[in-house]
Structure formats: structure tokens, C-alpha cells
Amino acid sequence: MSHRILFVDNDPDLLDIWAEYLERAGYRVEKAVSLEQARQRLAEAFFHLMIVDIRMVDDTDRHDLSGLALARDPAYLPVPKIVLTGFPSHQTAREAMKPRPEGLPAAVDYLDKDREPEAMIHAVQEILGQRLRSNPHLQVEWDPREPLSFAHLAYLLEPQLPQDLLGHRIAELEELFRRLFLDAKQMRVYRLLWHRERRVGLAVLLRSLADTVLSRIVVCGNRDRLACEERAIRLSCPEDGLRLTETAETMRFGAHAYAIPDGQAEKVQTLADLYHSRNDRLLRATLDQVLKEVIPAWHRRGQRVEEGRDLMALYRQQAGLEEGWSPAAVRERVQALVQLVRPLSSVLIEYDARSLTFSFPMEPPLSGPDPVTAIYHPSERYTTPVVCRLSPGRLTADSLVVDARHRAWPTDLAGLGQAPQWWDYLCLEAILRFDLVQPIDLQEAWRSFEECLVAPVSFQDSLDIVSGPDELRLNALLIDKVRKQAGSETGLEVEPYYAGLLVWVVAAMTHYDPARLYDQDEQNRAAHLLLAAAMLTRRLAAGDQRSVSISPKSALERTIRLRLDEDGVRVWTGPDRYLTLTGQQLVLFRSLYRRQGQVVPRQTLIEEVFGEPYAADMRDRHFQERRLNTVMQRLKDQLKAHTGCSEFIQTVRGEGYRLDPEGKRSG
Amino acid sequence: MPEKWTFVLVSEEQETLWPQVLRRALSPLGEMRILSEDKAVQAAATSPVPLVILDAAVVRDVAGLTSRLKRERPDLHVVVATASPTWRRARQALQAGASDYIRKSLDEEELRAQIEAVLHLPPPRAPNEKEGIRDEPSDPFRGQ
């Protein structure tokens, strides 16, 4: 491999002579006689090393440090540099080579022009041969069954890449992997798992120096974005999640490698693969693990109450609709989508600024208010404080990777951060509702499928799976599981969940680019999204009408919703109103709050509040229950004194207690 | 960060003018111990000393001792102080892994500022090695 060097000096004669020496030594040298030229080449091309003169503007001006400023530019941080000067001083040597708050020094070496070019060749050889953390011995293989190569990766990461720069990107990506796997002999990329928003997820096998075969998931993308992601991952990832094992960066790209905890040298599959393998038992077991272990592990990292922002805005942010999208642009995409699916079937779809209507032959038409208006103009009931939890981002069928033990791992962590508590569940539902469905006829099946999905008025209601279409029975069954789990964590209220699904659906519509060609399956999916949007807006509007029967003001006066604050100590009871609980009352409240809407047995409460086992002896047990009654009564009194409501905690005879965070003001 | 650091200066046992100035300069940050080369390596290996200052007038092989200290404790900061700075020695020291190469100034404030700046740096690294978390980044969960 021939290394590429950018040589920057304002003296063309020196540049020619020294470059010739370097070329004779086997390097590919590009010359730049000005800072502008240098920046332009850096913006386009890839270099393993840069050599830069300190005085690039005026050789007679001792204050001219313009070349040093170029070397110190954070944009070029991952390019190793040699600083060259005809006027060496300890000050400039120090400025060039001492580490900076960004973590790396501007230059790795500092040379005097008075020395012969051989000294430069020696320094270059030493840096590229020994001091650079790169693995020249890594053999890269691509699976012949996957249409993969560095060139393919380059276009996935930079779709508009001019052809004449392809060679540079290939070299840069190759270098990225050499920097990523310093201790491997061989790397085989066997699968492109996912690619979106100029990021890719790859599955690779490695042979280590000790001949051990290891499995890794590699995520590549823009350097700055991956650096942000890395900080968030190191700070927030659940301890039993994927382990970030290697990271590397070049000027444009960053890469993260992840290992599966206790994983073998195995090939992984995606949730989509598992679905299409039609092994229902394994699919259910994996989904159970996602619902009961993966999502709770993220959500356990804490919670936060968003007081100032409405739920729709939080959902839009999560779905990527807050940056670069306006309501008008989103509406245009929806209109384009209606055009795209129009020739599909006998169903007539009409869309205007007020409504989205489906006219089915032989059946009554189905119409819902405009979904774009619905997601940008939230109804009043979504302005209450929203409980957010840590989310791995956007769960998708291809980024949820399943290992040999059928444990699932989210691998696309670009959206890692706080999200409304329903988000991860509704993303899972969206996978099962829109992505992993068999292509079927719009008119026959999807209407009944969608009707069955928007029927529940609370998370307690089960889906009417029997009346749904046969082809989608498994999906409905799995969605029912997702909702049950969502309800057990978030309470009974299902409408904020529907609202999130609507935002997900509208965001999915914007991913259709009117300029592209879509096959029949993709068009079917688009039609399905439109139908779901109409159903959801209709469902949400019906909810609005129910709630307007009480005017919003009087509703606010009469109901109070409790939220446990992020510090886990204060209970939010209204704007700027907090009740601080302590001791056993706090533990008891947390215990009930965690399972809000569910009946919590007395035994569980006793064990959690007093930290002792439920007594076997009846007399002791009676004593424990009396103590619990006392704490319970004090907690109820506190809540009532603070809010004026007395209906938060209900006693279910013979079973236990249930917390309903929404209390009604008595009297 | 602890409230008070312990710094090590590799210099002669007999305290001359500059070590006295340095001791006063560092006193708001912590205490300073003057040790021989071997004892400094030992101290770096066995105690949480954050920073070792090498007096270039006393240490014969500055680059060698810097490398030795860094081998023992890669996260250690080494600062080389000299009354007669040259670019060659600056290059050598920084290439060996020193975090700074400073003039033996008698201005206490200048010295303290230089040492404080080094304490806020991540440990020096190889050219393209990614560093871990540097400054405590904001917790995305807390959204700050």
C-alpha cells in the first residue's frame, strides 16, 4: 500500500525538491502552495499524513503561524502531521507538539528545513511505519454472497460522491478498519445489517493475533456524529448491553465495534431474518426478551419528567421530524405518497389539508383528519408533563440483532437519549405492524387489521385478534404482547401511545422519496402507512371529542396526575408543586408507582418497604400487615393533604393495592 | 478530582531558588515533593501522583525518564522545565510523551497556570488513537 501525503509549503521550489525525494521513497505526494489549496484538497481527498510549513503567508514575518493554525484545526485532527519550519524555536515546537484539550497534539513531529530531505523521509517512515496506530497486516475479506466492498460502503456513506474521489474514500475506509482492529490478522465482513442516514451497521468475523475467532458488530458513519454517539454510549448504555470494544476515526469517518456479552464466534441475524424464518416459537421468545429484558434495562437507567414541552414535539424530535422538516414539506411528501399508491388498487385515496379519505368499493368510506396537522398541532391533553426514559433510539427490524442464544441487541444507537416512555414500545409495534408483514391486499386485510389495532381504549383491552385477518394473526398477537408490556410500565392510558404511532407513521412516509422508483411491495407498505395514518387520526380525534365534553379548564381543576420526579424522591403534583416523600412512605410510593395501574400484593409491598421476607408465622405476618397499614395510611394522608385528592391508592380486597396516578378531587 | 494534589519534582535534594518558587506556586493546588529519578518512578507507580515535573538541569536523559514514567503510568502527566529551552529538546521531550515543555519562570502565577492547564488535559496519546471520555460530557438522559 502506498501512503498518500499532502505537502503544504508556500515555497514551490522546496516543495518540488522535497516531494520528489518522498516520491522516490515510495510515497504518493500531493503538493499545496497555499492554505486554500491545502484546505480544498483536504476537503476532497484522503491523506495518511500531512507535512505543513509554519509560515505559509509571509516567510519574513515571525508572527506568521498560519501553517500551525492549519495543523491545529480540529477538522483535521485525525490526520497525523509533521510541522516544518525554516525558523525553529522552542515556542513553536511546543505549540505544535504539546497535547491540547481536544486530546491530540497538532503535530507528531517538528522538523527544521535546514536538514536534508532524508531526515524528512526518516521521520515519515517512522511515523507511518511504527508510531501510527494502524494495522498494515489486516487482511480484509468480503462475503461473496453480499454485494459488499469498500466502494459500496463509500457510496452508502456518501451517496453523492463524485466518481473521481472514489479511490480516496476507498483508501480512507480501508485505513479506518486498519485503525479499528489493531490486534486482528483477518476480518471478514459477512453482512450489511442496516444502512440509514449515512450510517451503516455491519456484521464481521475477526481472527485475532492469537488465532481466536471473534464476532463483532461494526457501525460506521460521519466522524463527528460517531464521536457524539460514543460519549453518550459510554455514559448511558446499560451495563449488560453490547460492549463497545474498539473505536477508530479518520478525517471523515468514525467506526465503533461492539461485542456481544458472553458471545461466541457466531454469526448474528436480525429480527427481520428471524421473522421471515417463520419460526414462531423463537420469534416470540426473542420478542419476550426484548420486552422483559432489553427495554427495561434501558428504561431502568432513570426517568425524567419533561414539563415544558408537549408530547408531540418530543415524538417529532425522536422521529427526526424536528430538524430539516416543516409541516409544508411533510405535507408535500404525504401528497406525493398518495400519488405513488393511487394506481395500486380499486381503493380511492383523497388527501387535502383537512382530511385523508379512503373510498372502498362496497364499503363505507373511511376518513380521518389530516395527519400532518395532527402531529404539528397537538391537542391540549398532550401538554401535561411527559415521563421520558432512556431509549436506545429507533428500534428497527434490521438493527435489532439476534445472537445464537436468541438474545436481541439494539445496534443502531444514533438516537440514544431520553424519549417519551411509550417510544420504544411503539417502535416495536411499528416493526410488527408495517415492516414485518406479508404483502397482502389493501382492501381485504389491512382495513380489518388496522381497525383491530385502534379499537382498544386502554392498555387493559386485549386486541380482537380473532376477527383480524389470518395472515396477520401472528403480528396482532405479538403487538398485543408489546402493548401489555407498555401498559404495565406506563399505566393504562393508550392515547399517548397512539399519538406516538401516528408520528412514527408520518415520519416513515417522509422517507419515501418521490424521485425514486418503488416496487409493488414498497408501494403496498406506503398505502398501509396512509391507511394507518387515517385510522389513527380518526381514533385520536374521537378521543378529543370525548375529552371536550368537559371543558379543558374544568378538567384541569378536577384531575391531578402524579409523576415521580427524576430524582426519585419528589412527587410532581402540578406545575411547580412537589411533594417530598421520605423513608418508608417513599419506598412504598415507588413500589406502587413502578406498577401503576396494577394490583400490587401486600406481600410484595411488605418485602420492599421493610426489606424483610414475608413472615411465615401468622402472628408475625399480622404484625407486618399492621405496620404496612400504618405506612399506607400516612402516605394516603400526605397525598390528600397536598393535592386534595383521595383516590390515588385503591385497596383491592384480598389482593393488595393499586395506584392510579390520576386522582379526582373529592368534593 | 481530589481537593489537594501531590506533585513530584525530580531535582536536587537541596532546594534552590526555582524549586522554592515552584513550591509556592503550587501550594494552592497541593503539596510538592522533591525526589530522585528512581524514587519518582516508584512514586508514580505506587501512588496517585497526577503530575511529575522534570528539572532538565538535573535529569540527564529527559526523554528516557519521560518514557520510563509513561511506561509505568500511561495516564501520568510529565512536564519538563528548563532555563535554557531549545526546539530540539522541546521536540524530544514532547515526542517522548511529555505533556508540556516549560520555561523555568520565576513568576508564580505563570507557573501555576501552566501546571493547571496540564492537569486539565487528557493524557497524551498516539497520533490517531481515539481518546475516551475527556471532559465529563453531559448525560443525554439528563438532557443538559
DSSP secondary structure, A476-523, as one string: HHHHHHHHHHHHHHH-SB-HHHHHHHHHHHHHHHHT--TTS---HHHH
Cβ-Cβ contacts under 8 Å for B51 (sequence gap 6 or more): B5, B7, B8, B76, B77, B78, B79, B99, B115, B118, B119
User: Closest residue of B to A302, CA-based?
Assistant: B141
Min Cα separation A123/chain B (Å): 12
Reported as a pLDDT band with limits 50, 70 and 90, residue A445 is confident
Identity of the amino acid at A214: L
- Round to whole Å and give the CA distance between A11 and A56: 9
pLDDT per position as a tens digit, A27-70? 999 999 999 999 999 999 999 999 999 999 998 898 999 999 99
Which among A103, A179, A250 has the least Cβ separation from residue B131? A103
Calculate mean pLDDT across residues A287-306.
Answer: 88
Helix/strand/coil for B65: helix
Reported as a pLDDT band with limits 50, 70 and 90, residue B103 is very high
Distance of CA A628 to the CA centre of its chain: 42
Q: How far is CA A535 from CA A345, A375, A440, A474, A501, in A?
A: 19, 14, 18, 21, 11
Window from A20-29, A375-384, B123-132 with minimum mean pLDDT: B123-132
- Round to whole Å and give the CA distance between A505 and A523: 15
Q: What is the pLDDT of residue B136?
A: 33
Reported as a pLDDT band with limits 50, 70 and 90, residue B127 is very low
Min Cα separation A243/chain B (Å): 14
Contacts of B51 in chain A (CB under 8 A): none
Q: Name which of B18, B129, B131, B8 is nearest B79 in CA terms.
A: B8
Q: What is the pLDDT of residue B77?
A: 93
pLDDT per position as a tens digit, A375-409? 997 656 665 678 899 999 889 999 999 988 888 99
Calculate mean pLDDT across residues A191-215.
Answer: 92
- Round to whole Å and give the CA distance between A496 and A394: 17
- Round to whole Å and give the CA distance between B85 and A13: 32
Contacts of B122 in chain A (CB under 8 A): 99, 101, 103
- Round to whole Å and give the CA distance between A232 and A298: 13
- Round to whole Å and give the CA distance between A271 and A428: 11
Terminal-to-terminal C-alpha distance of chain A: 83
Determine, for residues B141 and A98 on separate chains, whether the beta-carbon distance falls below 8 Å.
Answer: no
Q: Name which of B1, B11, B5 is nearest B28 in CA terms.
A: B5
B117, B129 Cβ separation under 8 angstroms: no
Q: How far is CA A81 from CA A210, A393, A610, in A?
A: 33, 37, 63
Window from A17-26, A97-106, A422-431, A603-612 with minimum mean pLDDT: A97-106
Residue A594's CB is within 10 A of a number of other CB atoms, namely 14
Q: How far is CA B143 from CA A236, A284, A310, in A?
A: 12, 34, 16
- Round to whole Å and give the CA distance between A525 and A471: 15
Q: What is the pLDDT of residue A232?
A: 87
Distance of CA A647 to the CA centre of its chain: 39
A242, A261 Cβ separation under 8 angstroms: yes
Residue A11 DSSP class? -
Which among A89, A110, A249 has the least Cβ separation from residue B130? A249
A221, A230 Cβ separation under 8 angstroms: no
Average pLDDT score, chain A: 87
> Which ipTM value was assigned to this complex?
0.77
Residue A207: CA count within 13 A, CB half-sphere: 9
Domains and CATH numbers, chain A: 4-131 (3.40.50.2300), 139-267 (3.30.200.20), 272-549 (no CATH), 558-664 (1.10.10.10)
Identity of the amino acid at A7: F
A248, A385 Cβ separation under 8 angstroms: no
Quickly list DSSP for B36-57: -HHHHHHHHHHS---EEEEETT
Helix/strand/coil for A195: strand
Q: Identify residues of A whose CB sits under 8 angstroms from chain B CBs.
A: 78, 80, 88-90, 92-94, 97-105, 108-110, 112, 127, 131-134, 179, 230-232, 234-236, 247-250, 301-302, 304, 390, 416-418, 566
Domains and CATH numbers, chain B: 5-119 (3.40.50.2300)
Q: What is the pLDDT of residue A550?
A: 33
Q: Name which of A229, A222, A231 is nearest A249 in CA terms.
A: A222
Which neighbouring-strand residues pair with A192?
A: A202
Q: Give ∠ CA B75-B80-B85 in degrees, rounded to 5.
A: 150
Residue A73's CB is within 10 A of a number of other CB atoms, namely 12
Helix/strand/coil for A270: strand
Q: Name which of A525, A475, A479, A476 is nearest A278 in CA terms.
A: A475
Element (H, E) at A218: strand A213-222
Window from A245-249, A259-263, A538-542 with minimum mean pLDDT: A259-263
Determine, for residues B133 and A235 on separate chains, whether the beta-carbon distance falls below 8 Å.
Answer: yes
A113, A84 Cβ separation under 8 angstroms: yes
- Round to whole Å and give the CA distance between A348 and A361: 9
Would strands A4-8 and A28-32 be described as parallel, antiparallel, or unpaired? Answer: parallel
Q: Name which of A192, A209, A200, A88 is nearest A137 in CA terms.
A: A209
Contacts of A110 in chain B (CB under 8 A): 87, 90-91
As a whole-number percent, the residues of chain A with pLDDT over 70 amount to 93
CA quadruple A156, A159, A162, A168: dihedral positive or negative? negative
Min Cα separation B125/chain A (Å): 6
Helix/strand/coil for A187: strand
A390, A298 Cβ separation under 8 angstroms: yes
Higher pLDDT, A50 or B138: A50
Determine, for residues A133 and B101 on separate chains, whether the beta-carbon distance falls below 8 Å.
Answer: no
User: With 90 as the cut, is the pLDDT of residue A562 above it?
Assistant: no
Cβ-Cβ contacts under 8 Å for B102 (sequence gap 6 or more): B79, B80, B81, B82, B111, B114
pLDDT per position as a tens digit, A578-612? 788 888 888 898 888 877 777 788 888 998 898 88
A209, A183 Cβ separation under 8 angstroms: yes
Identity of the amino acid at A538: R
Residue A613: CA count within 13 A, CB half-sphere: 3
CA quadruple A179, A181, A183, A186: dihedral positive or negative? negative
Burial of residue B67 (CB within 10 Å: 0-12, 13-18, 19+) is middle
